């Protein structure tokens, strides 16, 4: 033995589990952000400040706001997942190289 510890190489997680780990926490965070944001801001006033020519109802404002928050938080979760992938999968020698 050379004194190096063997780092276990865990099998990759199923795709649905990976997407669930990204989308579920971001969905929850987007819901909280939407509640807090729209407790302080009326979607119709926000529309008048940003896109006054668009005919967006209050319900559509809530919906668009939620999906905007969900996109932002899902991007954050995805970036975190990319950074936390085990390096052992990328640093080993390739077969046949």
| pLDDT at site 94 | 58
Provide, rounded to the nearest whole percent, the portion of the chain with pLDDT above 90: 53
Q: Where are the domains of the chain?
A: 30-85
CB atoms within 10 A of CB 22: 20
Q: What is the mean pLDDT of residues 28-39?
A: 96
d(CA 3, CA 41): 60
In this predicted structure, the answer to whether residue 85 has a pLDDT above a threshold of 70 is yes
Of 37-46, 69-78, 87-96, which gets the smallest average pLDDT?
Answer: 87-96
Residue with the larger pLDDT of the pair 90 and 36:
36
Per DSSP, 85 falls in state: S
Give residue 83's pLDDT band: very low, low, confident or very high (50, 70, 90): confident
- CA 26 vs CA 59, 68, 75, 84, 87: distances in Å: 21, 11, 8, 17, 25
């Amino acid at each position: 033995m050379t004194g190096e510890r063997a780092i276990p190489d865990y099998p990759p997680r199923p795709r649905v589990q990976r997407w669930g780990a990204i989308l579920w926490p971001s969905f929850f965070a987007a819901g909280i952000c939407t509640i807090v944001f729209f407790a302080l801001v009326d979607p119709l006033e926000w529309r008048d400040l940003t896109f006054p020519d668009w005919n967006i109802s209050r319900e559509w404002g809530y919906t668009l706001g939620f999906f905007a928050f969900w996109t932002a938080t899902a991007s954050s979760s995805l970036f975190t997942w990319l950074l936390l992938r085990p390096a052992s999968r990328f640093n080993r020698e390739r077969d046949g190289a």
